[in-house]
Amino acid sequence: MKTIRMEKNDWLLRVIFDLPDERVNKLSTAVMSELAQVVTELSKETQYEVVSFESAKKDIFIAGADIEELRDINDLATAREKGQVGQMLFTRIAALPQTTVAIIDGACVGGGCELALACDYRIATDNPKTTIGLPEVRLGIIPGWGEHNAYQD
């Protein structure tokens, strides 16, 4: 399933999320794997000065992790592994050689917020549906995909 497309302009490389057949973009295991491949490509890219992370969905940037997948976690090892995957990926985004910008129009929550925080800059529209936050704390989930280096023992 292809969720992420890249559009290249003169100096800008746009990374656009558009989860097929869904109203919102979610960071499922498959999407995180695809994003990791995109970040690998970006880390080798020398032609573009700026990389933007955007959404093709109306009124939504990224809604965060796939809650259904979170419900399936039933042991500490799996939880730790999934958390570390996100931490390492967002650390890689923060270390990209290009200037990175999250273009936020609509809800930017949970893992979407953490992805935006991994970027150098964030630009948010004045759309009334634009919200930025970590609502997973209301579910008893502590945000954990932040920068990997901050979580080392």
pTM: 0.89
Dist. CA 15–CA 53, nearest whole Å: 5
Q: What angle do CA 103, 109, 6 make, to 5 degrees?
A: 40
Q: Which helix (H) or strand (E) covers residue 23, if one does?
A: none
Which residues share a beta bridge with 74?
A: none
Residue 61, pLDDT > 50, answer yes
Radius of gyration (C-alpha) of the chain in whole angstroms: 15
**Residues 9-31: pLDDT tens digits?**
989 999 999 999 999 999 999 99
Catalytic residues: 114, 136
The overall average pLDDT reported for the chain is 89
Instruction: Summarize pLDDT for 93-122 with one digit per residue, the tens.
Output: 999 999 999 999 999 999 999 999 999 999
The DSSP code for 65 is B
* pLDDT for 20: 95
**Cα angle for residues 26, 30, 33 (degrees, 5° grid):** 110
**Residue 64 near residue 27 (C-beta atoms within 8 A):** yes
User: CA-CA distances (angstroms) from residue 143 to 10, 67, 115, 136?
Assistant: 36, 13, 12, 7
CATH level 3 topology of 4-151: 2-enoyl-CoA Hydratase; Chain A, domain 1 (3.90.226)
- pLDDT recorded at residue 101: 98
